[in-house]
Amino acid sequence: MASSSRNSSISALRNSKYDVFVSFRGEDTRNNFTDFLFQAFQTQGIFAFRDDTNLPKGGSIAPELLHAIQHSQIFVVVFSTNYASSTWCLQELDQIRECLQLSGKHVLPVFYDVDPSDVRHQKGSYAEAFSKHGQRFQHDSQMVSRWREALTQVANLSGWDLRHKPQSAAIKEIVQKIINILDCQSSCVSKDLVGMDSPIQELQKLLLLDSVHDVRVIGICGMGGIGKTTLATVLYDRISQLFGACCFIDDVSKIYRLHDGPLGAQKQILDQTLGQEHHQICNHYNATNLIRRRLCRQRALIILDNVGQVEQLEKIAVYRECLGARSRIIIISRDKHILKQYGVDAVYQVPLLNQTNSLQLLCRKAFKLDRILSSYERLVNDILDYVNGLPLAIKVLGSFLYGRDVSEWSSALARLRESPEKDVMDVLRLSFDDLRETEKEIFLHIVCFFIKYPEKYVKNVLNCCEFHADIGLRVLVDKSLVSIEDGRILMHNLLEELGRNIVAEYTSKEPRKWRRLWSDEQLYDVILNNMVRKIMSKP
């Protein structure tokens, strides 16, 4: 679920007038570095306060500056040679430090033409400036001390030292950093999410975010509708600000089907990580080379969702050796074998929701509350038994049942047992449709006959029918269509329902013509019908 810090960030966003406040000494940088920086802000849609354009004519500068500082989300402080000589700059910095202490806002220092050590310890031109301030403000030595403390505190933060370095590259990094922070603060992650904290903690452990040098690749897998994409979205929301370049490709398989194949995905990676469109790239070779050149020194976070084949990853060509130190790649797939084939460092298997989280999610969707309405208690338990911890099914059914009375709930549940919810079944069926014909047959045989049977027994029976069950069953496990626990084959009850619907769909409407019969009622009907047919056929 969303944390209190996330809620406070969203509250701060709503109360903010500006994205960025830039504190700088105008005579030093107004017509060079800061001018280029403001242009980059405007290009990227970042709303920044600028004293020569935002202040009303004839207004008092101090109240307007104070208001702008209090209503900005991020502060960029450009330390230059004469920054400390300006009392306005030092007052701004003191107010920025106060905002930093009270609200935890972000401060990004930039050392334009000055040694960071001179700023931290007030040496060089900063020592000269404070010598003059000490004489001028003898009556208010505490104010001068606050200015010194503010300089030391802000200059100790991680920032950019621009001495003898290209300004354009630094401006791109600063802008991207601000975009990452703003994206994090403006998160639209649903408040209805439950059961996220434990999986997120497990994923962060697998990512080894504190590791200094290595590039790490992890996989996320699980059955359809279990929440792989949702989990990755929450993870991205929480950690993306740690990276200099970030990218989340929503649906790799869809891009391959509908767009330019790997080139479409590569363009998205370049657009998202570098903050500019790359429509002029027209072939896979150029896109691959550009990704390698641009990202090899960046700490990047790249998430590739719904990968259906390992060839998709190979053609996108984002390998760990292409990225800068401490980068992370996250690959999401329904098929664990794809992740292993690609060579991920670890795989996280997304679990079903436990009973507590399932109940909480259903109540939020069905009642807009965190508790069950008393008259619905039995029906809620029946629904939870039916969905068996699958988040997609809980959300779809809970939303459908919202605002309906007890009799309508009972009617809906009876209808579900006869005809499952199409939105849920469509998602689950994607994994079945990706199977080879032999694997489909194995899946349907398990659905009808072998759930909870010993794995060894099932393999022996299927192998006798020449289904090559050893590899076929492994494929079903990798695709999260079945699981093996304590030596027995298990399946989610909604997948079981999907399989039986497929059997009915593939066969005649007359059960006596079916290849598979799995219930006593079906067997009884067929036997009875055969007996009747024999009796009727006698002269």
13 and 68 Cβ atoms separated by less than 8 Å = no
> How many CB atoms sit inside 10 A of residue 202's CB?
16
Buried b (16+ CB within 10 A) or exposed e, 258-269: eebebbbbbbbb
Handedness of CA 183, 189, 195, 199 (dihedral sign): negative
Buried b (16+ CB within 10 A) or exposed e, 396-422: bbbebbeeeeeeebeebeeebeeebbe
| Edge-to-edge strand ranges of the sheet holding 72-79 | 48-49, 18-24, 72-79, 106-111, 160-161
Q: How far is CA 400 from the centre of its chain?
A: 26
Give the C-alpha distances (Å, rounded to integers) separating 386 from 346, 411, 491: 32, 14, 13
> How many CB atoms sit inside 10 A of residue 206's CB?
19
List the catalytic residue out of 64, 92, 98, 437: 92
92 belongs to the catalytic site? yes
- Of 46, 127, 57, 137, the C-alpha closest to 91 is 137
Residue 503's contacts (CB-CB under 8 Å, 6 or more residues apart) are 444, 447, 448, 514, 516
Residue 20's contacts (CB-CB under 8 Å, 6 or more residues apart) are 41, 46, 47, 48, 49, 72, 73, 74, 75, 76, 178
342 and 217 Cβ atoms separated by less than 8 Å = yes
Q: How far is CA 182 from the centre of its chain?
A: 15
Which residues form the catalytic set? 92
